[in-house]
Structure 1
């Protein structure tokens, strides 16, 4: 499977709590729910399409808690996003949860399992399994680890036209400098940029 990152971003790279004020108020973040003023149908269509490629998901603990508090209650079989998230395997990276605590409500209680110990080896082993994509949503702290070890195969970045000046960012100091190759890019009617990138080797420098 290819490891793909799907995330909502601001122009200054903030990915923290796009969905609501209570989603992740850590570090006194005061802008939770910043995505709400952009109810763009094109974004929903984009997310629906990329979920069709999911064979499994990997989450950090915080994102897993957010997802399992919401998605098991979305039971409409005509909702392809809910169907994928509820039915497909979910791997939870956590050193504080026990295997017994990693559960999923609803019709698919056994689809979630714990990943502990050597995270890099575990994620690489998941990538070595057959399938289309191992998708990661949110999970900012886990993402930093995966980025430092160059495990991400594709980025799908949904960037909104606002700047927050604070909050957890996708790309932080310490990751390997990398050139990204644009695969696809669309600008929606509300000004969001839906872009797909793939790593394309080291950063090259020169003179202009």
Structure 2
């Protein structure tokens, strides 16, 4: 069974837009393109090398596919270029005829169904790079098996975020972690069943607490009836 792995550069406030450099993705007036570069060091290069050392295929949204297709086929002095040329690129797009990069495959009109089928096949992991809009769809359908988050110590304020409002609740377990000399936190999480809850409240709530709860319930009732 294949896993879907989201390997994501993310800020402390969950922004993942345009980490690589100027003009990567200025949509929405984003002004901080290239926010990852100043935090790269030997340790982080090692993390990325380890990520790519195992067999993988790429899973990309259309915008990230276009960014990669305009860059990596023309980079011959970095082993990532030939590597990305060689692997299969599965792409979510409404325009499959324009997928001109070699070894590119259209996921079809029903992306979640296509990925459920791919996950059942034998083969390498499906590695997501960038692709914030595709990630939202996969989170909504509970289709991401592993997150590798590279958390950069910056707050960006706005931009495309890793976790939107449609993510399906799930428990995760930390399977690997590292802190680089520049303060970057690398954390890998895998699925761990349902979200567990507990209770730090008093066994016998005070009347003030009961009144607070009644107030919240009334606010929610009004919200739903509005």
Shared fold by TM > 0.5? Answer: yes
Query: Which position in structure 1 is the counterpart of 2:52?
Result: 51
Which position in structure 1 is the counterpart of 2:184? 192
Aligned mates of 2:168, 2:117 — CA distance in 1: 22
Q: Residue in 2 aligned with 1:103?
A: 100
**Is 1:36 matched up with 2:33?**
no
Q: 1:8-61: per-residue Cα shift (whole Å, max 9, x none)?
A: 010111100011131111111111111121121211111111112243111000
Larger Rg: 2
Q: Spell out, residue by residue over 1:57-87, the C-alpha distance to the aligned partner (whole angstroms, 9 max, x if none).
A: 11000000000111101224xx443332110
Task: Give me the whole-angstrom Cα distance separating, in 1, the residues matched to 2:48 and 2:194.
Answer: 29
Kindly provide the CA deviation profile for residues 174-194 of structure 1, in whole angstroms up to 9, marking residues without a partner as x.
211111100001000000011
| Count of residue correspondences | 199
Matches of 1:40 and 1:13, distance apart in 2:
22
Checking the alignment, whether the CA contact within 8 Å between 1:54 and 1:134 is kept in structure 2 is no
- 2:72·2:80 contact (CA, 8 Å) conserved in 1? no
How far apart are residue 126 of structure 1 and its match?
A: 1.8
Could you say what secondary structure the match of 1:183 adopts? strand
Query: Does residue 132 of structure 2 align to residue 140 of structure 1?
Result: yes
2:112 counterpart residue number: 120
Q: Which residue is equivalent to 1:130?
A: 122
| Preserved CA contact (<8 Å) 1:55 1:132 | yes
Q: Which has the higher helix share?
A: 2
Give RMSD over aligned pairs: 1.3
Work out the CA distance in 2 between the residues paired with 1:25 and 1:65: 14
CA distance in 2, matches of 1:36, 1:75: 20
SS of the residue 1:37 aligns to = helix
TM-score w.r.t. length of structure 1: 0.91
| Residues 54 and 135 in structure 1, CA contact (< 8 A), matched pair in contact too | no
Give ranges in structure 2 of 5+ residues lacking alignment.
201-226
CA distance in 1, matches of 2:93, 2:190: 27
Structure 1 unaligned residues grouped into runs of 5+: none
Aligned residue for 1:141, secondary structure, equals helix
